[in-house]
Every structure is written in structure tokens, then in C-alpha cells.
Chain A
Amino acid sequence: MNGDESIAALRRGLLDRRYSAVELTERSLSRIDTANETLNCFITIDPDGALAAAAAADSRIARGEAGPLTGIPLAHKDVFCTRGIRTTCASRMLANFIAPYDATAVSRLAHAGAVCLGKTNMDEFAMGSSNETSWFGPARNPWDPGRAPGGSSGGSAAAVCAGLVPCATGTDTGGSIRQPAAFCGVTGLKPTYGRVSRYGMVAFASSLDQGGAFARDAEDVAALLQVMEGHDPLDSTSTTAEPTAFDGSGSMTIGLPGEYWDDLDADMGAVLDDATRELEAAGHTLKTVSLPHTTAAVPAYYVIASAEASANLSRYDGVRFGYRAESPDSIDDLYRRSRAEGFGAEVKRRILTGTYALSIGYYDAYYLQAQRVRRLIRQDFLDAFDDVDVIAAPVTPGVAFPLGAVTDPVAMYRQDVFTIPASLAGLPAMSLPCGLLDGLPAGLQLIGPHFEEGRVLELGAEYQRRTDWHRQRPHIIPLDTGGPGEVSNAV
């Protein structure tokens, strides 16, 4: 056991009694203890809850009743409600909020036996691409702690990258799983809109938000998806579609969108060319496709996501839960100061942008126009999928940037240029490590038609059998440190 095993390998180790779930959890806790001061990837660590869950997992294993994830350590992005453990959304607004219920994704993973170690850092209310908008300070990239781990699910990506946990949950509204996965060199999947229930996921933009997962490779991500997915009566937008099917990747036609590749920086372009050549060498056919409305995606997204955010975040009023300003002198003063003091600058920018786009005189020009553009972007993808099985694309324009380097909000928004279109179209999309640039990971994005996560994951797994980019680790925290010596030598 060295902190870099797959879920399947850990499961074998547990079932063969080479180590116990309690030992595995103690080891994760010890690694978190060593690394979190530097990486700041956990907002809340729950040793007592984790050890109790691990002891229960050991009993289940002893009784021969192990579920698919029994005893596997996992962390939840702090956007998922967890009963009894605070859910902050990395905001001062919710810094002391303890949800009275579990998110459906949380309860499904717990039911499958996963052991929750704690809650990971993120951009405030999942609004950001660098983790720098967190009220708790940014998580840091294990490849270089001076750089951003990406966002918004940066803490989850960093925790998996550093081997603190083998897997973690995330959410993706415009790229919040895929971009941090690329920056940290781990595998991350945003499923089709509606695949994973949004019940108990603190809402940002409800027509875009989608839960997903990070792990070391596509096979592990598939194992998590199979537990997390499925219809939930508590979320009316959760799908009733058949569960993800895995039927062998076969020979596919892979589309390369000209609009994505044309403007790509030469170094990133070379790394991605190597990746697509590898797919070609595996027997797949490459074909250039066109997604003509790509440049309108970022502007349309910032209208739609901000409009939905301004509505969703109106619930934070200082009355029923969350932050309340001291000594308000009127109800309006209570609302305004609670929100002014409870929200950070980026959240306020999004609320104000959304309020603007929805206000009288601007609604047609902005909100309705953005929704029309959204249909064109979705149609671009549907047309492309008439000719190809999967689309391959970059995840990010460049590798992880230094913390503090991107100060213009619009420049930060443009970081998501390659992830936002699939979000607007509601498509499943995965980021997988495909190379190193100046010693930092680069990501390959595979986008599938609606509900074809299986195809995307199988192609990703095939790529990962032929390459070892997903096994590259920064070794900022040596993998063999932490935990009892007897356990670390056990495998």
C-alpha cells in the first residue's frame, strides 16, 4: 500500500485482509495531516466519523457483505451537504452551516461503503477557476504549491493528486471538474446533465450543475459513477435514462474540433497532437469537425450561469441559516449587510451580472439571446456526433498558472473556453492526463454524446493502458510516508 493504488487494488487488499479499512483510513488521515498545511485542500477533516465508518466497513467485510466501495477512503467537495459535518461551500456565508441531511451522491457513496475523510476546498459557491475565491484561502497544486490547483473543485483534484485519498467527488458547472483534473494530473469526469442527482448539492447554476468524480484513472472514475448515478425522486432533473453501459470501445471515429485546435498555444498543441496520435495508433480514426458557435460559448455561459446564480443565491438572507450581520437595524439592513459581509467579491460580481442580464430592458438582449446561443452550441455538437463517436479536445489553454497571476475576472473566465461548450450542451466530458509541459500536467478532454459516459470512459481507459501520464505524480509528499510502517510495507 503506497498511496497510489487503484480502487480495485485497494478493494482486493481489503477483501484479502492484507490491511483493514481502519488501517487504510488511518493512513489517509496521516497523509492529510502531513500535507494539508501546505496544500490546504481540506476545509474540514473528520477523523472520528471516518474511523467509525472504517470500523463499520471492516465489520461488513468480515461478514462477507462488502459493497463496491466498502472501506475505500474518499473526500467530498464541500458543496455536497453532509449531515453532521459542516458544509461551507468555501464561503463565509456558510462557514458554520451544518446540513440536516446528506446529499444523494453522499448517501449513495456511503451506502456503497466508501469512507468519507472530510470536505475539500473549492472556489466560493463553485465560482472560480483557480480556488482563489475560497474564504478559507486557496488549495495549492501538489506539482508546485505556488500554482493554482484549478477550480472550482481544486481541493478534490489536489487531494487525489497528492495521494491523500484515492478518489473524491466534485461538481462541474462550466469546467469545475475537468480544469482542476487537468491542472493536477488526475482523471475527472463530468457526466451528462442529470446523471447524478443534484439533491443536496449547494446550487450555483441549476441548468448546468452536475456532480462527478476524480480518481487516478478512468476505471476508478467509472466505479464511482456507477454508484453515484441514477434517478433520484428528490431531484426532478435527475435522469430516468438507463445506467451507464460499458460495451467495449471498439474502433471509433474521433472528432477534432477545428475551432479548439486552431488557437491553441504551440506547446499545448504538440502535447495534444501526441495524445490524439496515440488514439489513432490504437486503431481509431481521427476526423476534423466544426463547432462553429464556439466563440459565443463563454459570453453565453456567463449570462446564463450568472442569471441562475443570482436567483439561487437570493436564498441567503441571514434569516433561516447561514451568516447574519451583527445588530441589524432593519430587515433590509439585515439582508444587505449579511449578504455584503457573507459573500466574497467574485460571488457578488456574478450576482450583479446575473441581476443585470435579467433586469427590465436587458432580458431579451442578454438572457434570451444567451439561451438561443445555447441551442446553437448544442446543435453544433449534435451535428458533429452524426459523423463521429467522441470528440477529443484540449481542457485548458495552458498548464496551471501561478496563484495571483490572473487578476482580471474576464481573463479568468476565458480559462474555461474549452470546457464551457460541453457544459452548455449538457454533454458528458472527461479530463485525463496526457503529458507534461515544463514539468506540469496537461489534460486531454474526451466529450461524448448525451448519456454515452461509457464510451468516453472506455476510450479513456484504453488510452491509459497505452500511456502512463496518469501515473505521474509530483512526489511533493513521498507516497510511502504517513501511516503505520507495518501497513505501508504490507504490499
Chain B
Amino acid sequence: MDRETLARLARLAQLELTPEEVGPALDDLNRIVALIDEMRAVDTRDAAPLAHPLDADQPLRDDIVTESVDRETYQDIAPATREGLYLVPRVVE
């Protein structure tokens, strides 16, 4: 992994790395990539991907309304709100 790849990943993950963080992060991530590369040699031709450890399907509940939105409670813990809306920096000029 090089600096360019790391910058792209950071952008995708909405993470900002300071110039001082980039070097150590690259070292660590390259060690981690070397670790995860160890499983690439395993012969998995006959193994289907397993997403759920019990190999179970996602059950679906009945399609009925079960929750009411308690906006006041949920917005109590928001960093900034006004009149029931979440405040963020201006997005549309």
C-alpha cells in the first residue's frame, strides 16, 4: 500500500489523517495487509462464501408499524438541532 492508496481509503472512509499520522499508518497497514494476504493461498474453490456463522437466512418480521418516532428524545443527544432539524454546515449555496 502506498501513500496514494492510503489517501484514497481515507477519503472513502471520511477520515482525515494528519501528515504525522500518515507514515505510521502506512507502516501498520502494510503489516496488516501482509497478515491478511496469508489467507489468499488457501484453496477455497469448493467453499461458498459464509456470511452468517450459522449459515442462516435473514428472517423478516411482519410488515407492520411497531415503532413511533420520538424525535425529541432522539434529538436531545444530537450535537446541534433547531426546530426538529439537525444542523450542519451549509450544503447548498
Contacts and interface: CB of A to CB of B under 8 A. Distances in A.
A207 interface: yes
A33 interface: no
B28 A357 contact: no
B73 A207 contact: no
B38 interface: yes
A331 B91 contact: yes
Interface stretch (A299-307, A391-399, A429-437): A299-307
Contacts of B6: 352
B89 A331 contact: yes
Contacts of B39: 296, 299-300, 303, 369-370, 373
Interface string A282-321: 0000000000010110111011000000100010011111
A366 B53 contact: no
A194 B48 contact: no
A352 B31 contact: no
B77 A97 contact: yes
Contacts of B42: 293, 296, 369, 372-373, 376
A355 B50 contact: no
| B interface bracket (residues with beta carbon within 8 Å of A) | 35 or more
Interface in B6-63: 6, 9-10, 12-18, 21, 25, 28-29, 31-40, 42, 44, 47-56, 58-61
Interface string A198-216: 0000000001100000000
Interface stretch (A21-29, A145-153, A219-227, A408-416): A408-416
Interface of chain B, main secondary structure = loop
B49 A371 contact: yes
Interface in B49-93: 49-56, 58-61, 70, 73-74, 76-80, 86, 88-89, 91
B59 A236 contact: yes
A98 B77 contact: yes
B31 A236 contact: no
Most buried by B among A323, A351, A450: A351
Contacts of B61: 233, 236
A368 interface: yes
A242 interface: no
Contacts of B21: 345
Contact of B25 (A328, A336, A352): A352
Interface of chain A, main secondary structure = helix
A352 B9 CA distance: 6
Interface string A354-376: 01110100000110111111111
Given A336-B16, A351-B15, A328 B89 contact: yes
A92 interface: no
A170 interface: no
A296 B1 CA distance: 21
A329 B89 CA distance: 6
A31 to B, nearest CB: 32
Given A331-B91, A351-B13, A356-B1, A408 B38 contact: no
A375 B78 contact: no
A425 B50 CA distance: 10
Contacts of B1: 356
Contact of B38 (A295, A365, A368): A295
A352 B22 CA distance: 12
A239 B59 CA distance: 10
B32 A100 contact: no
A426 B54 CA distance: 7
Given A302-B32, A324-B80, A331-B91, A319 B58 contact: no
Given A97-B77, A324-B79, A299 B36 contact: yes
A365 B76 contact: no
Given A100-B74, A193-B54, A424-B53, A376 B13 contact: no
Nearest to A317: B14
A424 B35 CA distance: 17
A349 B16 contact: no
Contacts of B49: 368, 371-372, 374-375
Nearest to A347: B15
Nearest to B5: A356
A339 B33 CA distance: 23
A356 B34 CA distance: 13
Given A352-B29, A373-B39, A410-B31, A320 B86 contact: yes
Contacts of B58: 236-237
A17 to B, nearest CB: 40
19 contacts: A194-B56, A207-B51, A239-B54, A319-B78, A320-B77, A323-B79, A331-B89, A340-B15, A348-B25, A352-B9, A353-B29, A355-B12, A356-B9, A356-B33, A365-B40, A369-B39, A371-B49, A374-B49, A378-B55
Given A100-B70, A340-B16, A410-B34, 17 more contacts: A194-B56, A236-B59, A237-B58, A319-B88, A320-B74, A331-B91, A334-B88, A335-B14, A339-B15, A352-B10, A352-B29, A356-B5, A368-B49, A370-B39, A373-B39, A425-B53, A426-B54
Which 10 residue pairs spanning A and B have beta carbons closest together? A426-B53, A371-B49, A372-B44, A324-B79, A375-B50, A299-B39, A340-B16, A336-B16, A372-B47, A296-B39
